[in-house]
Amino acid sequence: MRLALISDVHANLEALETTFADILLRAVDRIVCLGDIVGYNREATECIALIRSADCLCVAGNHDLAACGRITTRHFSNAAARTVAWTRQQLTPDDLDFLGSLPLKGNIDDRLIAVHGALHPESDCAIVRLDNDERRMLSFQALMAHPSGARICAFGHTHHAAVYQLHNDAVVVRSEQEVQLRDDAYYLINPGTVGKPRVTDRRASYMILDLARRTVTIRYLDYDAAATLAATHKAGLAPRFGFATLSSKWRS
């Protein structure tokens, strides 16, 4: 089975369409979306429609949960909370029902566990960030104890692509573009972000997990980021300085 792992689309239709076009060339069996379909950008309804038309297996992200009212935005930044409130007004009742129905965790054939933030703790797994060694070890422990017997957990939320390997009580970060997975190790894998990069590299990223060959491959894709930011800015959801900086960078 070949799976395309995407995460943190954040209502960026340009990036999502580019990502799906690339996935179509890779002969995958299923797309797994690790949450945050909405938030930050303005094309939430269009992204939800595209995700649903592709029959993605989806888990809920914290922005998805906030948009449909399952959690509050108390711990969100001002910009994120403002976008959630704006998004909620744009979504149809059917969109809201879809987001409201998303599970916090997914299990693919007892071989892959999918979450948005972390595999631990049970109640806050869409909110906790695996952004330090202590939290990643807690999720590794949850994975090792998981009743499915799965050795791979896919997560998002940090917006940084990475493959963490636990073998013989040691955690290492695998930096190859294609990582060969060991049969006797456990893995936390993050495909990065389709639509909201937090680094100078503005490309969309996703992963292909080949469960038969036991490989995970990271892919980076260029898209028209300036067009997305222009639309977001027009809706009043992006700061002017960010628009000016990115527009000048992507004008050529």
pLDDT (0 to 100) of residue 220: 97
pLDDT (0 to 100) of residue 17: 98
Q: In the 3-class helix/strand/coil scheme, how is 24-80 assigned residue by residue? A: CCCCCCEEEECCCCCCCCCCHHHHHHHHHHCCCEECCCHHHHHHCCCCCCCCCCHHH
CATH topology of domain 2-250: Purple Acid Phosphatase; chain A, domain 2 (3.60.21)
pTM score, whole prediction: 0.92
Question: Taking each helix axis from N to C terminus, what angle separates 13-23 and 44-53, rounded to the nearest 10 degrees?
Answer: 20
Q: Are 130 and 157 in contact (CB under 8 A)?
A: yes
For the chain, give every domain's residue range: 2-250
pLDDT (0 to 100) of residue 239: 57
Cβ-based neighbours of 212, under 8 Å, separated by 6 or more = 1, 2
pLDDT (0 to 100) of residue 238: 66
Report whether the peptide linkage leading into residue 121 is cis, meaning its omega lies within 30 degrees of zero: yes
pLDDT (0 to 100) of residue 12: 97
- Composition of the chain by helix, strand, coil, percent to 5: 35, 25, 45
Token pair, residue 16, equals 């999502």
**Amino acid in position 167:** H
| Run means of pLDDT, 10 residues per run, the chain, 252 residues | 98 97 97 98 97 98 98 94 96 98 97 98 92 97 98 98 97 96 98 92 96 98 86 73 37 28
**Amino acid in position 245:** T
Rounded distance between C-alpha atoms, residue 75 and residue 42, angstroms: 21
β-strand partners of 108: 112
Residues 20-42 pLDDT 10s:
999 999 999 999 999 999 999 99
Strand 161-167 and strand 170-174: the pairing is antiparallel
Backbone region of residue 159 per phi and psi (left: phi > 0; alpha: psi in -120 to 50; beta: other values) = left
